[in-house]
């Protein structure tokens, strides 16, 4: 609000992120005295603890500019009320806005009561959740946030998690689901003991300073179904990754996003024995795609890419194959030679088993990635139910079918 009024905002906070402060046009100063000497309006937003009790007293008020104003809507006891009253009476402090006092309600004839009656003080009741309606709404809001987190959403008001700006929260929300699905798809489709992963962001995601929720979503997806641990989140994701020996390098690509995606996420898995780039070092997805390690059919690296459209997650690439499907439900992924009759082979087996196909996507080898591509493709089929081991054996033994596997997302 102060920025909107054309004011210069300065602050001191030992826990504030310099990056977030800079992005919001806030200048961080090293200590409180520097703020007091510079400000015209002082606002207090700290909890009442031993180190903040009486933090604004006679000396602090005297160090402020003559004619400055002070607002405290945090907790009573952080301002010496008698000292503030004296500064107001002398004219050194021009005005104050207060809705918290050391003793509530203020005792008669005390400094707080005199502040309430002072002509240059605006005092309001610090109701918070004191009314029945407010208490009910606070309880409902807490329940909504808990349910949102349990359903895989981002925490909006966690006290032990990195701060996420509202606009960044809105951009990240669909990608949280996408990255989790990518991690879970990797563990089921590739079934390889890779422990080192590059999580690469392209497009608008590169402008988001805090991508910790995406990192946590990847760890949750990678450990889903193979670990008894539940509730991987942005608070414990590092611990879970360390326990399982998982290394994730988050990288921001500055290359233009291909196709019509506003943002693209790529997961690249590689053997841990390969040297790892520093997590903060940017790397192009295009350069990854064109390396021999990823283009060869026998490559030890595995790549999955995805994007979001209208808050819906899509997988756009699996290994050497380009595709577009929603990672949801029971999926049958068949690796086959790209020649006539292969769709019929798969459809015949599923039809005899009474399994309905919801959708099918044929993923060809992506030509600009694989110059000497083999005549192969992936069939991704969405099924209404799982197929048995016998049907999977029949599919794997079908003419021109190289492999068939189920994935549940």
The values of phi and psi at residue 310, to 5°, are 50, 45
Q: What is the mean pLDDT of residues 265-274?
A: 80
pLDDT of residue 168: 82
Contacts of range 345-348, beta carbons closer than 8 Å, 24 or more positions apart: 345/395, 345/398, 345/399, 345/400, 345/401, 346/379, 346/381, 346/395, 346/398, 346/401, 346/404
Q: In what order do the strands lie in the sheet with 357-364?
A: 357-364, 376-383, 330-337, 401-408
* Catalytic-labelled residue, pool 19, 22, 89, 104: 104
**Region 248-252 average pLDDT:** 92
pLDDT of residue 279: 40
Per-residue pLDDT band for 151 (boundaries 50, 70, 90) equals confident
Question: Which one has a higher pLDDT value, 259 or 235?
Answer: 235
Q: Is the pLDDT of residue 160 over 80?
A: no
What is the mean pLDDT of the segment spanning 86-101? 94
Distance CA(279)–CA(250), nearest Å, equals: 5
Q: Would you place residue 61 in the very low, low, confident or very high pLDDT band (cuts 50, 70, 90)? A: very high
The pLDDT of residue 235: 77
pLDDT for residue 6? 83
Q: How confident is the model at residue 166 (pLDDT cuts 50, 70, 90)?
A: confident
Report, as an integer, the average pLDDT of 166-172.
82
156 is catalytic: no
Tokens linked to 198: 């590059």
Q: Is 184 a catalytic residue?
A: no
Q: Are 210 and 162 in contact (CB under 8 A)?
A: yes
Q: What's the pLDDT score for residue 285?
A: 43
Could you say which of 75, 184, 302, 320 is catalytic? 75
Dihedral (Cα; 336, 345, 326, 269), 10-degree rounding: -20
Whether residue 211 has pLDDT greater than 70: yes
Local structure of residue 253 (DSSP, 8 states): -
Say what the alpha-carbon torsion angle 361, 284, 165, 9 is, to the nearest 10 degrees: -160
Count the Cβ atoms, other than its own, within 10 Å of residue 368: 10
pLDDT for 110 beyond 60: yes
CA 101, 103, 106, 109 dihedral sign is negative
- At residue 275 the predicted structure's pLDDT band, cuts being 50, 70 and 90, is very low
Q: Which of 126, 156, 229, 244 is catalytic?
A: 126
pLDDT for residue 368? 53
pLDDT at 273 over 60: no
> Quick one: average pLDDT of 63-74?
93
Domains in the chain (CATH in brackets) are 31-123 (3.40.50.720), 166-319 (3.30.1330.90), 330-408 (3.30.70.260)
Q: Does 124 have pLDDT greater than 60?
A: yes
pLDDT digits (tens, 9 = 90+) for 6-29: 889 999 988 787 888 888 889 999
User: If pLDDT is split at 50, 70 and 90, which confidence band does 237 have?
Assistant: confident
- Report residue 313's pLDDT band, with 50, 70 and 90 as the boundaries: very high
The answer to whether residue 294 scores a pLDDT higher than 50 is no
Residue 358 annotated among the catalytic residues of the structure: no
By CB neighbour count within 10 A (0-12 exposed, 13-18 middle, 19+ buried), where does 222 fall? buried
pTM: 0.63
Q: Which of 37, 71, 327 is nearest to 185 (CA)?
A: 327
CB atoms closer than 10 angstroms to residue 42:
22
How many other CB atoms sit within 10 Å of the CB of residue 345?
19
Q: What is the pLDDT of residue 281?
A: 39
Name the percent of the chain lying above pLDDT 90: 47
Q: Which range is least confidently modeled, 66-75, 259-268, 298-307, 310-319?
A: 298-307
Q: What's the mean per-residue pLDDT of the chain?
A: 84
Question: What is the length of the chain?
Answer: 409
Of the listed ranges 141-150, 190-199, 285-294, 300-309, the one predicted with least confidence: 285-294
Number of H helices, E strands in the chain: 13, 16
- 102 neighbors 81 (Cβ within 8 angstroms): yes
49 Cβ contact list (under 8 Å, min separation 6)? none
Q: What is the dihedral of CA 72, 77, 79, 85, to 10 degrees?
A: 100
Q: What is the mean pLDDT of residues 156-170?
A: 74
Contact 84, 115 (CB under 8 A): yes
């Amino acid at each position: 609000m102060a920025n909107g009024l054309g004011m210069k905002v300065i602050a001191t906070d030992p826990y504030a992120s310099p990056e977030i402060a800079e992005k919001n046009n806030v200048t961080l100063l090293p200590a409180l005295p520097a703020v007091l000497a510079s400000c015209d309006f002082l606002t207090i937003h700290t909890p009442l603890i031993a180190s903040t009790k009486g933090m604004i007293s006679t000396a602090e008020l005297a160090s402020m500019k003559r004619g400055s104003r002070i607002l405290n809507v945090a907790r009573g006891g952080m301002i010496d009320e008698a000292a503030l009253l004296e500064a107001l009476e002398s004219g050194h402090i021009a005005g104050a806005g207060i809705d918290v006092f050391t003793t509530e309600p203020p005792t008669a004839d005390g400094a707080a009561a005199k502040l309430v009656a002072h002509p240059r003080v605006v005092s309001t009741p610090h109701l918070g959740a004191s009314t029945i309606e407010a208490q009910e709404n606070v309880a409902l809001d807490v329940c909504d946030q808990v349910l949102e987190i349990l359903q895989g959403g981002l925490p909006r008001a966690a006290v032990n998690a990195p701060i996420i700006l509202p606009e960044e929260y809105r951009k990240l929300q669909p990608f949280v689901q996408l990255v989790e699905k990518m991690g879970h798809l990797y563990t089921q489709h590739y079934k390889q003991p890779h422990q080192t992963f590059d999580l690469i962001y392209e497009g608008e995601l590169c402008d988001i300073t805090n991508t910790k929720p995406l990192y946590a979503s990847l760890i949750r997806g990678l450990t889903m179904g193979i670990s008894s641990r539940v509730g991987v989140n942005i608070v414990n994701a590092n611990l879970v990754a360390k326990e399982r020996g998982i290394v994730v390098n988050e990288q921001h690509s500055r290359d233009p996003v291909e196709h019509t995606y506003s943002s693209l996420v790529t997961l690249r898995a590689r053997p841990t024995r390969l040297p790892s780039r520093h997590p903060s070092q940017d790397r192009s997805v295009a350069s990854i795609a064109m390396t021999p390690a990823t283009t060869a059919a026998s490559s030890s690296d595995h790549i999955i890419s995805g994007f979001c459209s209208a808050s819906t997650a899509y997988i756009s690439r699996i290994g050497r194959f380009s595709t577009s499907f929603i990672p949801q439900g029971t999926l049958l992924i068949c690796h086959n030679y790209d020649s006539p009759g292969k769709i019929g082979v798969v459809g015949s087996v599923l039809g005899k088993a009474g399994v309905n196909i919801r959708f099918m996507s044929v993923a060809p080898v992506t030509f600009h990635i694989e110059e000497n591509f083999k005549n192969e493709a992936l069939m991704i089929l969405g099924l209404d139910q799982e197929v048995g081991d016998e049907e999977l054996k029949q599919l794997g033994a079908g003419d021109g079918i190289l492999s068939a596997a189920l994935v549940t997302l």
